[in-house]
Amino acid sequence: MHPKHSSPSAPSSCITRREFLAASSAALLATSIDPASSAAAQSSASSPTLALKGGDKAVKQSPKLPLRWGEPERDRLNAMLSQDSLFYWKGPQTTLFTERFKRVCPSKYVMPCSSGTAALHIAVAAAGIEPGDEVITSPITDIGTIIGVIYQLGVPVFADLGAGTYNLDPADVAQRITPKTKAIIAVHLCGNPCDLHALKTLADKHGLILIEDAAQAWGSRYRGQPIGTIGQFACFSLQNSKQITCGDGGVVASNDDRFGPLLQKFGDKGFDRLKGGLFESFATNYRMSEPQAAVAAAQLDRLEMIISKRSQIGNLLTEKITGLPGVLPHQVHPEDRCGYWFYFFRLKPGALSCDRAEFVKALVAEGVEASAGYIPVPLHRNPVFQKHAFFAGRWPVRELGLTKMDYTAHKTPEAEAILQSGIRLTIHEAMTDEYITSVAEAIRKVSHHYVA
């Protein structure tokens, strides 16, 4: 069976979802942790002076982060320069990029495009989102997740998130489904796979389309299945900060025969390059070009090395900081693969005598690349949503009575709490186990110093 048409595999017997959630909620809610078994206790015999207070730094040496491109990219660009066209259609670089992409994300239909935002807009247009249709998604994401929804005159509905995964909470999504709901956009934040089994089951039950926003999830796997092969659409970004890049770029893919054939048209001004003819659909120009495809094709060859390393060191960090006082590690299901676009852990409210700013300051003094939070507020708390001011200060969908959405009344309390208590750590494939161990040691030092 083709992966896209198969239902996501149920959690295997190693650990059930119920056990996983029960264990993780217990860990999140616990007010005290068994001192005998915790990593904290094992290494808390002596608490060295914080670097912030004049002590030695826990991180002695920062890793050297090499350039993320070189010979393979140069070779592809050189090959491209001997071509007489740099246009995407039937372009050798675009063809190669598409072939390599299919190995990473097995897909029948693939449209390389200019950004992750473009990929998501193409998906929403191909999904047939109509004016006033509701699309449920995460409030902690890049605004590119919902730009296409707004442009298609759809209505983003923000659901709340899992306290430790930072991904859509299927129970909260279920409560926000109305007769107007048409799709769910599941954002795999930081490359951590969403609970796709629950979301796909919900989508199928209500006849909704599932779009996977895998912009941050290159190389991730859900219960062993490549990310992007469970929803009807997969959308990736190749923007500069992503695990692989061509500066700016994206790709949208599908295995669904209803939607897949539309991807090319919706990324190419509505023009059908296979059949030609008159315009039957309306779209903008989101085409990728050969220079982008050349670099992206070379980058895809590096992907497995990059993601296997990131996954290993991210998991190592979790192992090392689990049980530290006041620290809630990034929660990834043991059977999933997360490419850790970055590592995000939370401070447990009330467990420490310092605030987050002080904790981050202390970590930075220890030599850790850390910063507070991610986006400043959940998306719908930005002025453009609060004022419903998407089109020259206006929102036709509301003015026409197609929605009563009022973002000033929209609430996602866990998302707010995540952004207020989260600390972001840089992860890079060039980091060694020794370096990650020293980062964990810095977190241990700081959490022990401030334990309430």
Ligand X SMILES: Cc1ncc(COP(=O)(O)O)c(C=O)c1O
List contacts with ligand X (CB under 6 A). 115-117, 141-142, 144-145, 187, 213, 215-216, 237, 239, 250
Backbone angles phi, psi at 83, to 5 degrees: -80, 155
Q: State the CB neighbour count (10 A cutoff) for residue 52.
A: 17
Element containing residue 175 per DSSP (H, E): helix 170-175
Q: Which residue is nearest to ligand X (CB)?
A: 116
Tokens of 261: 């054939």
Q: Are 48 and 55 in contact (CB under 8 A)?
A: yes
Find the shortest distance in angstroms from Cβ 181 to ligand X: 20
> Which DSSP symbol is given to 62?
P
- Shortest CB 435 distance to ligand X, Å: 25
Secondary structure (3-state) at 233: strand
Pair of tokens at residue 452: 């309430």
Nearer to ligand X, 242 or 449 (CB): 242
d(CA 243, CA 341) in angstroms, rounded, equals 7
Give CA–CA dist 159/177, Å, rounded. 10
- Least distance to ligand X from the beta carbon of 146, Å? 9
What SS3 state is found at 389? coil
The SS3 assignment for 209 reads: strand
Helices (H), 376-432: 383-386, 396-399, 413-421
Amino acid type, 295: V
Pairing of strands 209-213, 225-226: unpaired
Provide the H-helix boundaries in 43-195. Answer: 71-81, 92-104, 116-126, 144-151, 170-175
- Lookup: tokens for 38: 């915790």
CA distances from residue 193 to 74, 285, 322, 332 in whole angstroms, order as listed: 33, 30, 20, 8
Residue 423 near residue 344 (C-beta atoms within 8 A): yes
Backbone torsions φ then ψ of 442, nearest 5 degrees? -65, -45
Residue 152: helix, strand or coil by DSSP? coil
- 3-state secondary structure (DSSP) of residue 182: strand
